[in-house]
Structure 1
Amino acid sequence: MIIDISEWQHPDQIDYAQLAKQIDHVIVRVQYGSAYCDKYYQTHLQRFQDLGIPTAVYAWVRGTSHEDMAQEARTFYERAKVFQPCFYWLDVEEQSMIDMRGGVEVYRQTLKKLTNQKVGVYVAHHLYRQFNLAVEQFDALWLPSYGQNTGSYQGSDPTVNKHYDLHQYTSNGRLSGYNGVLDFNRLSGKKALNYFTGKAGNLPTWGIAGKGYFTLATAIHLRTAPNTSAQSLGILPTGSTVQYDAFAHEQGYVWIRQKRHDGTYAYLATGKSDGKKRTDASWGIFN
């Protein structure tokens, strides 16, 4: 099972551990054009990666010129690169410039050079012929076709191009672990799952391994990812002690990682950092 999600799936409504048991791969939206960053993409990516689910990323394309398309690609890469996704996708569902074919090709070329990764394209079914994108230049083609959109595959395959690799067949899918609806996708059979997720087994271990305990000298947010914009799991009060198994200097802080009872990880900032060393006293005591 392959699902794709965005900020419309709020982390507070997801039991990541339960959902992860039912899926093989997840594709997470990072941005809606360069000006809008998805609110929860970091949380989604980190939580699924912690659970061992191969994670890819996608960006809704909104560039208004060739240069704007190139800038969107650069912004997409900068936002996603820390998670080292196994695949990048462009989501083309609106006409944002006259020369969509040329603009999307600039986007692809720019992203390909930056990532040295596979880059695929998703094209809205009703706009496929109008845009006439150079889909043959991409590493994979992803097309939607829902039929009655019942939540299950009913044999309604894409017709605008039969050489697709991934088929989004419903937007009304349901799985335990999330009460809302989900987009479900299936492989066409032309490429194996490991073509899209092949890098997953080589995802680097986060941070530097090191076990210990940290006792807070002040109240600090416990988060789902090592970033101050990631979802807060709660504010740990002064005097709380956290057992950790790794640490890293990221996003201006020294973070420690806590393994949770459900197999996922939580992250706690313990003081400020310049990316290599502490720049101030830690916000607690290590032992």
Structure 2
Amino acid sequence: MVDVYSGSPRSYATLSGVDVIMVKATQGTNYINPFCDQDYQAAKKAGKLLGVYHYIGGGNPEKEAQYFYKNIKGYLGEAVPAVDWESYQNSSWGDSNYVRKFVDAFYKLSGVWPLIYVQASSLNQVANCSKDCGLWIASYPSMNWKSWSIPNMKLNTSPWSTYTIWQFTGDNMDRNVANTTKEGWKKLAKGSNKKPVAKSKNKAAWKKKQGTFILGQALKLHESPHIDSPAIAKLPKGSIIQYDATLQGPLRLWLRQPRSNGKYGYIVAKDKYGKLLGKLK
């Protein structure tokens, strides 16, 4: 596994021989990695297993958890979330209750316990999370270890029985080994005891509204209003869709196109980030 951030070469996201890519998503409550989705999508296209992480800034732990969730909720179920607890740029370093508050808040929102990244010498600061969260431990034989050969060294993970991820280099590249299978990683992404995510009291419903949508990019026309549903066609940029109803789902704005025999086609007008993908008239 390699973890990548804005300062990493973009090629790290598709590195040959690496099975897992962990992408930095957010930090504190006011930073989003501008290359997060670019690296994430490149890694996904390359067939990598996926993860996203938040770097603690040390502000209010509940607000940081909310900020992380808000910006990565579209990846949940596919990517393993993680929280990065380090001393650099962290005003709450040394607070042994901070990460506990963060992971509790994140779990309430997502139903998934995040992994916890921490240096081996500071395990005591996150020990109260060991029963719920997997461990991503950083421990190097030396800062000159620049090899994928796993070092032969004693690794203390207590109170965890073992690690989920071990980062064993941190100089020219953050090299890691994951202590799980492909199936195990996917299980971590989905959560083993998932709670329902809080939903709006107002259930999403179709609203009758006629209009025209001009595609600003190539988009798929789907058989049903689900992003993974089969495509009827892939429409090129500039195509014009006449729609008769709209649906604002939890992530995307859908338009309904009447077709022959009383059937419909469905297209995304706004993506999960709220970006309009064309012109509505």
Q: TM-score, normalised by structure 2?
A: 0.64
Contact 1:62 1:69 in 2 (8 A): no
Deviations 1:178-237 (A, max 9, x none): xxx43111134xx43422223779xx85576243452559xxxxxxxxxxxxxxxxxxxx
> Do residues 96 (structure 1) and 91 (structure 2) align?
yes
Residue 71 of structure 2 is aligned to residue 82 of structure 1: no
2:187 aligns with: 198
For 2:36 and 2:94, how far apart are their aligned partners in 1?
Answer: 29
CA–CA distance in 1 between the matches of 2:152 and 2:7? 27
**Counterpart residue number, 1:41:** 36
1:138 matches 2:129: no
d(CA) in 2 for partners of 1:60 and 1:15? Answer: 19
Per the TM alignment, residue 118 of structure 1 is displaced from its structure 2 partner at its CA by 3.5
Instruction: Tell me, in whole angstroms, the C-alpha distance in 2 between the residues paired with 1:16 and 1:163.
Output: 27
Contact 1:25 1:53 in 2 (8 A): yes
Cα RMSD of the aligned pairs, angstroms, is 3.0
- The aligned counterpart of 1:183 is 174
CA change 1:205–1:15 in 2 (3 A) is: farther
1:6-25 paired onto structure 2 within 5 Å: 6-11=5-10, 14=11, 19=15, 21-25=16-20
CA contact (8 A) 1:30 1:57 kept: yes
Q: 1:51/1:206 Cα in 2 relative to 1: closer, same or farther (>3 Å)?
A: farther
Percent pairwise identity: 18
- What secondary structure sits across from 1:134 in the alignment? helix
| 3-state secondary structure, aligned to 1:7 | coil
Counterparts in 2 of 1:210 and 1:53: CA distance versus 1, 3 Å = farther
Structure 1's unaligned 5+ residue stretches are: 173-180, 218-245, 256-270, 273-278, 281-287
Q: Tell me if the contact between 1:29 and 1:38 (Cα under 8 Å) persists in the aligned partners.
A: yes
**Structure 2 match to 1:263:** none
Match of 2:45 in 1: 50
Residue deviations 1:86-143 (CA, integer Å, cap 9, x gap): 31111100252277222211110111111112321111233334x2531313331110
Change (3 A) 1:98 1:156: closer
Structure label with greater radius of gyration: 2
Match among 142, 146, 171 for residue 150 of structure 1: 146
Partner of 1:159 in structure 2?
A: 156
- Decide whether the 8 Å contact of 1:143 with 1:167 is kept in 2: yes
Say whether the 8 Å CA contact 1:5–1:27 is kept in structure 2: yes
Q: String of CA shifts for 1:143-168, please: whole Å, max 9, x gaps.
A: 01111323232223433536322111
Residue 169 of structure 2: aligned partner: 170
- Residue 72 of structure 1 corresponds to 64
Amino acid at match of 1:183: D
Partner SS for 2:73: helix
SS at match of 1:138: coil
SS at match of 1:171: coil
CA deviation map 1:32-67 (0-9, x unaligned):
212211121111112222333221111111233xxx
1:114 and 2:105 are equivalent in the alignment: no
| Whole-angstrom distance in 2 between the partners of 1:15 and 1:91 | 19
Change (3 A) 1:215 1:192: closer
Equivalent pair of 1:56/1:87 in contact (CA under 8 Å) = yes
Letter in 2 for 1:70: E
Matched AA of 1:155: N
**CA apart distance, 1:29:** 0.8
